[in-house]
Amino acid sequence: MWRGYTLIISAASCWALIGIFSFIAYGQGIQPMEVAFWRAVLSWVFFAVQAVMKKETQLVKKDIPLLLLFGIFGISAFYVSYLFAIKEGGAAFASVLLYTAPAWVVACSFFIFREKLTVSKVTAVLMVVAGVVLISRGGGNSNSSTALGFFAVFSGLAAGFCYSLYYTMGKYFTSRYSSANLFFYVFPSVPSVFCRLSSLERSPQRHGLHCWQSLLFQRL
């Protein structure tokens, strides 16, 4: 039991560090799209090593279209929107809006999987919406009470929606692939190409060791 609690706390702590190290990377001159690209690349390296070591590299051809779709929205759009939300609204703001994901799961389950809506589900979604309204009226990176801009809120909500795909689309993959096996094929497909399009002009090599360190720790 304690092992489970320890893993949960460790995962939450590592997730919280994404915002901190992303800010450090921004301070080194690297842009959100570039951070997203290197995050995808470094993630693939770790998953590839694990997949190869465990010999979990199988792929069913009929799953390729869905894998590409998951790569576009579940990885590319998610990474980019979340990192823009961090830059525009702050790490705490982005993290809170990221967890509108359960509300998106309820909506997708109703419209796509035709799952029944209950009073508790509707109440939870309304509470999420109310929370988003209150958050958007507060300050982001500053200590002022200036309302956050549309782009910051949109980026945060988009990140929440894309994150919800890990539960909706991911439900299909969990019974067929391990995490390492799944991301071994997802990461080098669309995300790397998509994110690389905006990082041709700059490279962490031009920003020095601190930039590389922030990108590496942000991924860990």
Residue ranges per structural domain of the chain: 15-56+65-219
Over range 42-64, report the average pLDDT.
91
Q: Give the integer Cα–Cα distance in Å for 43 and 41.
A: 5
Q: Give the integer Cα–Cα distance in Å for 190 and 61.
A: 17
Q: How far, in whole angstroms, is CA 114 from its chain's centroid?
A: 26
What is the Rg, in whole angstroms, of the alpha carbon atoms belonging to the chain?
18
- Count the residues in the chain: 220
Query: Who contacts 1 (Cβ-Cβ below 8 Å, separation ≥6)?
Result: none
Amino acid at 162: C
Residue pair 47/183 in contact (Cβ under 8 Å)? The answer is yes
Over range 46-65, report the average pLDDT.
92
> Confidence band (pLDDT; 50, 70, 90) for 201?
very low
Q: Supply the pTM of this predicted model.
A: 0.79
Over range 178-190, report the average pLDDT.
85
The pLDDT of residue 190: 58
Distances 122 to 23, 125, 134, 164 between C-alpha atoms, Å: 35, 5, 19, 17
Closest CA to 104 of 86, 78, 69: 78
Quote the percentage of the chain above a pLDDT of 90.
Answer: 19
The pLDDT of residue 112: 79
